[in-house]
Structure 1
Amino acid sequence: MLLSLFISSVVFLRGHLVTSERILLAGVHVPSHLQQLQEVGEALDKRGHSVYIVIDEDFPNREKLVKPGITAVTFHSTDIHFPRYWSETATHGLMSMILGKEAQSVILSMQMGMQDCSNMMQDDVFMSKVTALKFDLLIFDGFFYCPCNVILASRLSIPAVFVSCSFLGWNARVSINPAVTPLVIFDYSDRMTFLQRLVNIVVYVGSTVYKVNEHNTTLLQKFAPGATSWTELQQQTTVLYIITRDHLLEWPEPQMPNVIRIPGVTTRPAGELPRQLKELMDAASDGAIVLSFGGTVSAQFPTEVISKFFNAFSQLKQTVIFKMNGTYVTMPINIPRNVHLLSWLPQNDLLGHPNTVLFITHCGNNGQYESLYHGVPMIGFPLFAEQSHNAFRMVDHGYGLRMNILKFAADELVNNIHKVLNEKSFKMATQKASDILKSQPMTAQDTAAYWVDHVLKHGSEHLQTGAMDMSLYQFFMLDILLFVLVVSFLSGYVLKTIFTVVCRKCLRKQTKQKQL
């Protein structure tokens, strides 16, 4: 009896379910993408589910990346035609693109993502393992450049949950109005000019009709022959869409019950810092500035860029924590005394320290929400992808200032730091956003886990709109418009014919009367 009581108490305290489901996570092999998937997975683990994550066995430091409570299922890469996202070749290419030395290749980025999926699906040992585990649900990264992870759901005949910071609403048949909802590739707000609305609508329609991310259809035909495109496969298998951004950084927009927004999925109350870092932060009586450009760019910035940062920071009294995890051509000789270089940062915990006064960021979605959650203003240096849009929305909402990594001067950075720290509007705006985020009834992680539980228990039919069964022309009401135009034309033609006949008869009658 005591044992039963103890077990019941543990189940109650941890929020475990009566039944445990097996859930598989699959995403793009980029640390920030894998992190947000695992945040959802960690919350599901606390609810008693068994959570696994797909990861390349060659992924660097994968043992440290995988969170406690989540089991890694590895696949082996045998066929590599394109560099992998974490490879030195890919990193050098990305930095060259950032520095303007070569054009960005969207196609290459998509091919790199598809390469992971191809290796995963062609690894017979891996596929036998995930088949034998009999998963109940797949949670996949819906990243635009790499839509192929959903193929596992089709192959395993299980439903899927879409998780991403980017979302083309019409693909999920959400009635988005492009006149007030900008795409993340543009520096537009919800108050667009005529030309901006025209461009946004044209690209929105074009992106929906013409699928620019439809690469490696051979992989699709081989492992999911029932679908003609990756978008169609997503629509067939996805039961829930989880989006990691909302109106606090974007702008309000309509959504359906099967679209759940969880802003700040990587945010949480600040945890205990490592001893040396805690001592450093506690001693920062004039405040601390955190600088991080994320995990994708292994910061191979040229010496002149690093020198400008050091020059600016040497003029400040604040302590600067600078994440520098890359290989540099030549490190500047003189590192300012107030600058501390670290290869890894507990970013959320640092931003939550009471002495942190500013976050200098590349404008990744997760980092921006972490900064808002802790009420820390920002200076953004967008580097690639949707980060330009993210920097624009940050400025538009009054959370910080934007700068150009190629053109900034040290004095300009110093002036902007003083402006953000001294003008109260930035702190007030971020503190208000922090209060709103913290006032939510559930955390982002728990909200995601609740809705995943919901569809596991109740299915998703009651959450989905009938528009999912419509073709695009029906969804856009083009058939209705065509019908109205045809009816209007025919009605006009009939009325014109009747009017002509009547007029002719009247004219004939008048002519006869005159002749008499």
Structure 2
Amino acid sequence: MSTAKALAEAGHNVTVVSMMKPKVMHKDIHLIVIPVTEEQQRSIEEQMAIMAGRKNSVLDTMSRFLNSLDVMIDSQADVLTDPRFLRIYETKFDLMILGYFLNDFQLAVAAKLKVPVILDGLMPPNFITDAFAGNPSELSYVPHMATIATQPMGFLKRTENLALHLFSKYMSTILESKLNHNYEKIYGGDKNLPSLKELRKNITLVFTGSHLISEGPIRPLVPAIIETGGIQVKDKPDPLPEDIGQFLNKSTQGAVFLSLGSNIKSSTVKPEIVQIIFKVLSGLKENVIWKWEDLDNTPGNVTNILYKTWLPQDDILAHPNTKLFITHAGKGGITESQYHGVPMVALPVFADQPGNAAQMERSGFGLALDLLTITEDSFRQALKEVLENDKYSETARKFSTLYRDRPLTAKQTVVYWTEYVLRHRGAPHLQSPAVHMSFIELNNLDVYTVIASIVISFLLLARLVGKFLWSKLFAKANTSAAKKNQ
């Protein structure tokens, strides 16, 4: 939505199709909301509650998306046949920007509209976007998103990296089957559409939520990958709602901001963990703003805690009295906190969050704890350390300076490259040749096969010649010896 808003502010005619009412909007955006059904919403919330009560690696989460959470994929397919969506085919468009979340089948929309595609995602470059853009993975020194490693990686980390990459590829084949099933279900009867594999070759650019110069890891990026990390951060904070603004303004000893994101509701966290968090926060001298969805059933009422169902995260982090962010370690939240120079205590839940938290801690921006095993003492000590030790806030401030130092802001980058694609009618020249090569061609397997065949043929021929010459020499030697004995 921040991408859409930046384009609308630049004067473009933008239509947005969303499955929820967005928090970021612009008066000139034409919005079409097609929400999930009540049954789908209930299923998603149940699965999110389960994930909040257990440890979840990136690979666990990926597996869950293909099984019990596949409703998040199927619901995106349902959008494509909704009458509210089908009306878009009555309008002429020049470009489609696809917010990516395991929804490759939606690329068919661009094919039907006959427009190029820009993929837009919050994640940094990963094995999925690498495949879309033909970007080299470089397994020997680029850590997989499911691992934490310093560069250069040692033998064990490189081995782990390879294993994770191969497992991800295996999971991708299962995902491919799921995506193709949805694609065939919706568009199988349309003979004018190519295969899903061919549709992916229509992706011109991939916007990724990263700024590798400051965040790392250092890695190659083809021209088709454009970094837009921080796109959601406002150039100037919006005025805060009156109650939040007053609460922060009177927080003369500082304020702590707690949010576990939009997917995990605080009320789904185990009650005993919620009480641990409440007891510690209620004992702080700082005021606390806590994102809590059920205001009729809060953990407890104290004067230093303000509960709100929704919070303008970026604007709160920009307030000078905000001294600490307690976060689930989603990529967006960490980016905003780093941008505003606010140190963190991370309580990751699933997907990329544990990796983000570990990377954040290693970089010196704060501390990470296991949400499921925190105690009053460990949580209190973590807050005390980050709030009172200036090294965390100083590291965050230094990073903020580095993160902002770029030739174009994230919004300017989005507008420039979007208009570049429009000016050059899809700009296919930006694509890596790797996008249009088969696995065999891309990895030179045919060349290696020919070279190996030539070498093996030469060795076999040399062996045959050697045997032939040896037999002739041996026979000659035997003949000479026989004549000598006579």
- Residue 368 of structure 1 aligns with which residue? 334
- Residue 3 of structure 1 aligns with which residue? none
- Residue 279 of structure 2 aligns with which residue? 311
- Residue 70 of structure 1 aligns with which residue? 29
- Percent identity of equivalent pairs: 25
Contact 1:114 1:148 in 2 (8 A): no
What whole-Å deviation, never above 9, does each CA across 1:345-390 have from its counterpart, x for those lacking one? Answer: 1111111111221111001111110011011111111111211121
2:442 aligned with 1:475: yes
What whole-Å deviation, never above 9, does each CA across 1:366-418 have from its counterpart, x for those lacking one? Answer: 11100110111111111112111211221222222111111101111111112
- Residue 53 of structure 2 aligns with which residue? 99
Residue 406 of structure 1: SS of its match in structure 2?
helix
What whole-Å deviation, never above 9, does each CA across 1:107-164 have from its counterpart, x for those lacking one? Answer: 246632333333222224531x201111111111222x33333232122221111011
TM-score by length of 1: 0.83
Please point out which of 388, 400, 406 is paired with 1:422. Answer: 388
2:180 aligned with 1:217: yes
Please point out which of 473, 479, 488 is paired with 2:455. Answer: 488
Structure 2 spans left out of the alignment, 5+ residues: none
Please point out which of 275, 285, 289 is paired with 1:321. Answer: 289
Structure 1 residues 484 and 180, CA gap change in structure 2 (3 angstroms) = same
Contact 1:51 1:69 in 2 (8 A): yes
- For 1:276 and 1:327, the matched residues in 2 are separated by 15
- AA at the equivalent of 2:72: G
- Residue 417 of structure 2 aligns with which residue? 451
- Residue 366 of structure 2 aligns with which residue? 400
- Residue 9 of structure 1 aligns with which residue? none
- AA at the equivalent of 1:242: F
Please point out which of 19, 44, 54 is paired with 2:7. Answer: 44
- For 2:445 and 2:298, the matched residues in 1 are separated by 60
Residue 361 of structure 2: SS of its match in structure 1?
helix
What whole-Å deviation, never above 9, does each CA across 1:10-50 have from its counterpart, x for those lacking one? Answer: xxxxxxxxxxxxxxxxxxxxxxxxxxxx1111111122110
Contact 1:141 1:149 in 2 (8 A): no
- For 2:74 and 2:326, the matched residues in 1 are separated by 33
Please point out which of 152, 158, 162 is paired with 2:109. Answer: 152
In terms of mean alpha carbon deviation, does 109-118 or 313-322 score higher? 109-118
Residue 211 of structure 1: SS of its match in structure 2?
helix
How many angstroms does 1:255 deviate by? 1.0
- Cα RMSD of the aligned pairs, angstroms, is 2.6
In terms of mean alpha carbon deviation, does 215-224 or 245-254 score higher? 215-224
- For 1:479 and 1:319, the matched residues in 2 are separated by 65
Structure 1 residues 480 and 508, CA gap change in structure 2 (3 angstroms) = same
- For 1:500 and 1:40, the matched residues in 2 are separated by 72
How many angstroms does 1:89 deviate by? 3.6
Residue 370 of structure 2: SS of its match in structure 1?
coil
What whole-Å deviation, never above 9, does each CA across 1:433-463 have from its counterpart, x for those lacking one? Answer: 2001222222212211210110110132221
How many angstroms does 1:513 deviate by? 4.2
Please point out which of 209, 212, 227 is paired with 1:244. Answer: 209
Please point out which of 121, 143, 150 is paired with 1:164. Answer: 121
- AA at the equivalent of 1:100: R
Residue 107 of structure 2: SS of its match in structure 1?
helix
How many angstroms does 1:206 deviate by? 4.9
How many angstroms does 1:174 deviate by? 1.0
- For 2:454 and 2:384, the matched residues in 1 are separated by 65
Count of aligned residue pairs for this structure pair: 464
- Residue 144 of structure 2 aligns with which residue? 183
Residue 428 of structure 1: SS of its match in structure 2?
helix
TM-score by length of 2: 0.87
- Residue 111 of structure 1 aligns with which residue? 70
In terms of mean alpha carbon deviation, does 255-264 or 232-241 score higher? 232-241
Residue 453 of structure 2: SS of its match in structure 1?
helix
What whole-Å deviation, never above 9, does each CA across 1:188-226 have from its counterpart, x for those lacking one? Answer: 454444344234324424544642323153441242664
Contact 1:264 1:444 in 2 (8 A): yes
- AA at the equivalent of 1:291: L
Structure 1 residues 83 and 474, CA gap change in structure 2 (3 angstroms) = farther
- AA at the equivalent of 1:474: E
How many angstroms does 1:427 deviate by? 2.3
- AA at the equivalent of 1:299: S
- AA at the equivalent of 1:99: G
In terms of mean alpha carbon deviation, does 296-305 or 498-507 score higher? 498-507
- For 1:40 and 1:142, the matched residues in 2 are separated by 13
- Residue 497 of structure 1 aligns with which residue? 464
- AA at the equivalent of 1:347: Q
2:102 aligned with 1:136: no
Matches within 5 A, 1:112-127: 112-127=71-86
What whole-Å deviation, never above 9, does each CA across 1:50-104 have from its counterpart, x for those lacking one? Answer: 0111134xx4xx2765443211124487xx6x943xx244213211222039986
- AA at the equivalent of 1:292: S
Contact 1:372 1:430 in 2 (8 A): yes
Contact 2:53 2:270 in 1 (8 A): no
